[in-house]
A and B are shown apart, each in its own frame.
Chain A
Amino acid sequence: MTAPTVLSIEGLSIRFGGLTAVEDLTFQVREGEVLTLIGPNGAGKTSAFNAITGYIQPSAGDIVYRGECLVGMKPNQIAARGVVRTFQKTSVFSGLTMFENVLTGLHLRGKQHPLAIMLGLPSVRRDEERLRAEAWEILKLVGIEARAGEQASALPYGELRLLEVAVALAAKPTLLLLDEPVSGMNPTETADFMTLIGRIRALGITILLVEHDMKMVMGISDRIVCLNQGRIIADAPPAEIQKDPEVIRAYLGERYVRARG
């Protein structure tokens, strides 16, 4: 595995007043891989996500994506560079239908000048038709096209989580950050989600994941970074992570290791 590095985090620190959420974090994400951040609650995983996507400003450190420094950019500027995230707490446009949600997510792919819109130029109508077709493709890719016309607030939890991924995919990411996408899903839904991640990978999208479901993490990750109290304690492929004594002590626990045999 010698794929080029796409995202490089150097000495990232995040402090909230006196509390240090993330301390001197350094890791790289390589093109096309699935990299998972694991660690106990409060280890700084979501804070790192928020810093990468511009929702909080890091206190120190560099975040470089394909040669461009992301620190100081607004979330929408970072999204325009191909780094798109989902949120830990389910976040969709709940007043809109599934189809409208994805169509809204396609914002970056649209080409419509406000004046052209108000004048009703034919180019706008063509663009709208193209966007609708693309929205449909994304719904099919994620496998939720059957309920496209339903309002998001009426959807069951599992499909809401899929819709989130669909909205993120609509923004045409090259690096997708998923924050605990299968939390609260049952085993069947989780298994389906794992195949979805496979399909997303096949599109050439690099994935950075935060997840607690170890079956999924061990099943799909190329590499795992384990955080504890804001610091990296391990950075290795799944097989090695499972044997790492510090990871077992801080996060996995002896029972997990015994259960796996």
Chain B
Amino acid sequence: MTNRILSLAWVAFLISIPFWMEDLYYLHVLIVTGIFIIAAMSLNLLLGYTGQLSLGHVAFFGIGAYVSSLVSLGFEIHVLPNTTVSLDPKPVWFAMLVAVIFSGLCGWFIGRVSFKVRGAYFVIVTVSFAEVVRLVSLNWMELTQGPMALNNIPYLTLGIPEVFEVEFIGKVPCYYLVLAVAVFTYVVIRRLVQSRAGRAMIALRENEPLASSVGVDVTRVLVLATIVSAGLAGLAGALYAHYVRIVDPDVFLFIYTVTMVIMVITGGKGTLAGPIVGGLVFGIFPEVLRGFQVQPEIQWITYGVLMILIVYFLPAGIVPAIRSLLPRRLVEGGDGSVEPNATAEARS
């Protein structure tokens, strides 16, 4: 119960931010951090719960960004000499939905392809996939404009045209949109990992032979995790596209995957709050340094040192470290654990 009150307080605090945060630049930092936190949460489902490191996670993010942009902008491409495929511009909410589904399908594909590979080999499959997608986005000029980028991507509007419409343009509406999607992502992942499906994922991470001996279909579980993870990363990418309104092949940069991995690992992989805490630390920290007028080189060095310190002293991440400090009573029923009521029942 305390946990529920705590999370509601958190959400209330986040809702209040635009009312007192006057500098729109900081709001921008929060929006981008929020989008990365959504992507990090989706990565955590794979890395933290099934134990499979996807080092190509940015592929799903970028695919989401491109698909959503292209569907909302429309396109016309020549597939065969005399055949063209064209698509008229569609509403942004529809484009975002297509982006989520398409990213999810890519996740399904990766899950199926890599059904027998684990560990380092899974990493290689995902890295290669991301690189292939990046090269496609760079070279398929007709579809993606290559390095010239997709411009003038429309912003999201919701409601009935000419009656009541909300336009998600500018910092404050976009902030609330990102916040809403982040809460949605958190709820979906929380439900998943605290269910039978989530336990099967954890079983795959903890002990694969034992998992299959009690009837867990390991391939099916891994595919489910990659679909949901990729779909949510695609959603983050779509949000990004309609917020910055320009998408180029740089959305596939490897450094973005690394950022997500850092957020998950420093925050605490396999915990629900981990990616959020890690995301806030590594999204906001560089801006804090900038506020102190620190040189960019020093900023990056400090960033690296902080990361190494966290990984060295808190190998399980920030969230598990804090949890181990708290009295046991507060931790019961906490997130991430599969059995909030066990100890209560043990006493009865």
Residue pair B207, A94 in contact (C-beta under 8 Å)? yes
Contact of B342 among A99, A108, A114 (CB under 8 A): A99
Task: Please name all residues of chain B whose beta carbon is closer than 8 Å to the beta carbon of A120 when the two chains form the complex.
Answer: 187, 191
The size of the chain B interface, using a CB distance under 8 A, is 33
Closest Cβ of chain B to A162, distance in Å, is 15
Among the listed stretches A73-81, A213-221, A224-232, which one makes contact with chain B, having 4 or more residues with CB under 8 Å of it? A73-81
Q: Are B191 and A118 within 8 A (Cβ)?
A: yes
Residue of B nearest to A127 (CB): B196
Inter-chain contacts of A171 with B (CB < 8 A): 213-215
B213 to chain A: which residues have CB within 8 Å? Answer: 53, 75-76, 79, 84-85, 87, 168, 171
Interface presence of B200 (CB below 8 A): yes
- A170 close to B214 (CB less than 8 A): yes
| B189-209 vs A, Cβ < 8 Å mask (1 yes, 0 no) | 001100111011011001101
Identify the stretch in B5-13, B22-30, B151-159, B333-341 within 8 Å (CB) of chain A at 4 or more residues. Answer: B333-341
Main secondary structure of the interface of A (DSSP, over half): helix
Interface residues of A in 153-182 (CB under 8 A from B): 167-168, 170-171
Q: Mark B210-224, 1 if CB is under 8 A from A, else 0.
A: 111111111000001
User: Is B82 located at the chain interface by the 8 A CB criterion?
Assistant: no
Q: Say yes or no: is B165 at the interface (Cβ < 8 Å to chain A).
A: no
Known contacts A91-B207, A127-B196, A132-B341; decide if A107 and B215 are in contact (CB<8 Å).
yes
Shortest CB-to-CB span from B331 to chain A, Å, is: 11
CA distance A112 to B210 in the complex (A): 21
- DSSP class of B's interface residues: helix, strand, loop or mixed? helix
Q: Please determine whether B199 and A103 come into contact, CB atoms closer than 8 angstroms.
A: yes
Contact between B212 and A79 (Cβ–Cβ < 8 Å)?
yes
Mask, A100-113, CB within 8 Å of B = 1, is 10011111101010
B1 at the interface (CB under 8 A from A): no
Which residues of A line the B interface, CB within 8 A?
53, 55, 74-76, 79-80, 84-85, 87, 91-97, 99-100, 103-108, 110, 112, 114, 117-118, 120, 124, 127-128, 131-132, 136, 145-146, 148-149, 167-168, 170-171
**7 A-B interface contacts by CB (under 8 A):** A87-B209, A94-B206, A96-B338, A97-B339, A112-B196, A120-B191, A167-B214
